[in-house]
Every structure is written in C-alpha cells, then in structure tokens.
Amino acid sequence: MKNNTSISCLIVDDEIIAREVIATHLSKISNINVVASCSNALEAFNWINSNKIDLVFLDINMPEISGISFAKSINKDIKIIFTTAYRDYAVEGFELKAVDYLLKPIAFERLLKAVNTYFETLQNTEKHLEINTETNDFIFVRSDRKMIKIDFDTIVYIESFSDYLKIHLLNETIVTRETISAIEAKLSKQNFIRIHRSYIISVTHINSFTNEHITIFNKALPISRSYKKEVLKQLEQY
C-alpha cells in the first residue's frame, strides 16, 4: 500500500473473537494504528470524544445501541467499515456512505480490499482539498441565514461548541452551525493548524507556544494530547 498517512482506527464489536480477528488482520497492514477495541457503542463514544479517530470497524448487531444508530450519531468525517454476519443491513449501511460492508467471517484479503478503498477515498479527498485551498484565500460560511465571506488573514482562531462554532476574527466574531471539521477542510493547511478537537488556530497570529498551550491574542488555547505531536511538528517548520 503506497501511502504514508497513519490512520487511527477503532474496532467496535460485542464479540471478543470478532474484535481479535479484525485486530490481527489490521496488524498486518502498514499505516494502520488500532487505537482501541470496544465491546459496545457507549465505550466507543468515549474514545471518539477524547481521541482523533479516522476509521471505525463497526459491528451492526450490538446490545443497547446498534451500529447503525452509532454511525448516524458520530462526526461524518469519521469513516465507517461495517462488519456483520447478516446481509440484511447492506443497503442501510451504504446509505450511510460507509466505505465498505464486510460479512463475517472476514478474510484478510477482503478486509485489505476495504482498507485500500478507504485510502483511495482519502487520497481523492486530499487532492480535492489541495485544489480548493491553493486557489482561494477566503471561505464562505453560513451565518444568520446568509453566506458570509471570510478572508483567511482575518481569522485568529476557531472555537467549537456542542452545536455551533465561533470564528474569531480580528474585529468581530462569526457564529455558524457548520462543524469544525467542515471548516478545517476549507482552510489553507499552510496557515491553519488544528490543535484540539475544539480549536483551530491561525499560525499568523500566534504570540507564543509551549508543549501544552498556544497563546494567540493573549488567550491561552490548549493543545490536546492526540494533536500534540503533529502540531509541534508543523510549528517547527516555521
């Protein structure tokens, strides 16, 4: 697999044998990092809320919260590969734009094909984003029933709350219902860094930084553990 991107994965299945099979298969694939193996959706929610997860291998038939319900409730930027013993859910799975739908027992070759499909999707998305970010130095966001143009150089930092964002500009603050991941995808990778699941900062306006915080316009913003390595690596390039 010719890809240098490290992918953080979560395995969610109420059957321990199924989890072990998937984990064993994934251990043979480069660039795949299994962050955790969860026995139910509630446990998986906790991991997603405190860690950066790219891809979830998700069983459908689970107690309390089904895989379908779980998939509908998480950030749409997190990709899903469904794993199940039943064909009945295939249509609903693909309606949720799942990367793939694997029937148990899962052979290594079939899982590898699903992972390759994920990487192909990722590469196509990155190419699309590169085109957008290299040709624009502004974005449009929806706020108060209208689309507002925001120049990159006016953005200080972006702050995410439970169901809305605050985009802090040099002279005002814009509130929008867009997700932080959707905004992140529109921004220039050269000028903006995601430092926390709740914060994106403009490199241009940084006052100072440590291993734990970035000070921007005299406000200290936390660097989360899951983003720290990549954040410090990016800042060292300046």
| Residue 1 counted as domain residue | no
Shared domain for 170 and 206, answered yes or no, is yes
Of 80 and 186, more confident: 80
Which CA distances in Å does 109 have to 25, 33, 102, 115, 140? Answer: 9, 18, 11, 10, 43
Q: Is 41 left (phi over 0), alpha (psi -120 to 50) or beta?
A: alpha
pTM of the model: 0.53
Shared domain for 13 and 112, answered yes or no, is yes
Shared domain for 36 and 77, answered yes or no, is yes
Shared domain for 87 and 162, answered yes or no, is no
pLDDT tens sequence across 20-75 = 999 999 999 988 999 999 999 999 999 998 888 999 999 999 988 999 999 988 88
- Distance, CA of 227 to CA of 5 (rounded, Å): 15
Q: CA angle, corner 71, sides to 60 and 43, nearest 5? A: 80
Q: Which of 83, 111, 132 is the last residue of a domain?
A: 132
Give the CATH number, domain containing residue 13: 3.40.50.2300
Q: What is the pLDDT of residue 137?
A: 82
Shared domain for 28 and 99, answered yes or no, is yes
Tokens of 117: 């499909």
| Residue 161 counted as domain residue | yes
Q: What confidence tier does 93 reach under pLDDT thresholds 50, 70, 90?
A: low
Query: What is the average per-residue pLDDT within 72-97?
Result: 79
Shared domain for 107 and 122, answered yes or no, is yes
Q: What confidence tier does 186 reach under pLDDT thresholds 50, 70, 90?
A: confident
Query: What is the average per-residue pLDDT within 82-94?
Result: 73
Q: What is the pLDDT of residue 129?
A: 44
Q: How many domains does the chain have?
A: 2
Q: What is the pLDDT of residue 133?
A: 43
Shared domain for 19 and 124, answered yes or no, is yes
Q: Which of 73, 99, 132 is the last residue of a domain?
A: 132
Residue 214 belongs to what domain range? 136-235
Q: Which of 107, 132, 157 is the last residue of a domain?
A: 132
Shared domain for 90 and 169, answered yes or no, is no
Q: What is the pLDDT of residue 60?
A: 92
Q: What confidence tier does 170 reach under pLDDT thresholds 50, 70, 90?
A: very high
pLDDT of 202 over the 60 cut? yes
Shared domain for 225 and 166, answered yes or no, is yes
Q: What is the pLDDT of residue 178?
A: 87
Shared domain for 151 and 115, answered yes or no, is no
Mean pLDDT, rounded, of the chain: 87
Q: What is the pLDDT of residue 5?
A: 65
Q: What is the pLDDT of residue 35?
A: 94
Q: What is the pLDDT of residue 96?
A: 76
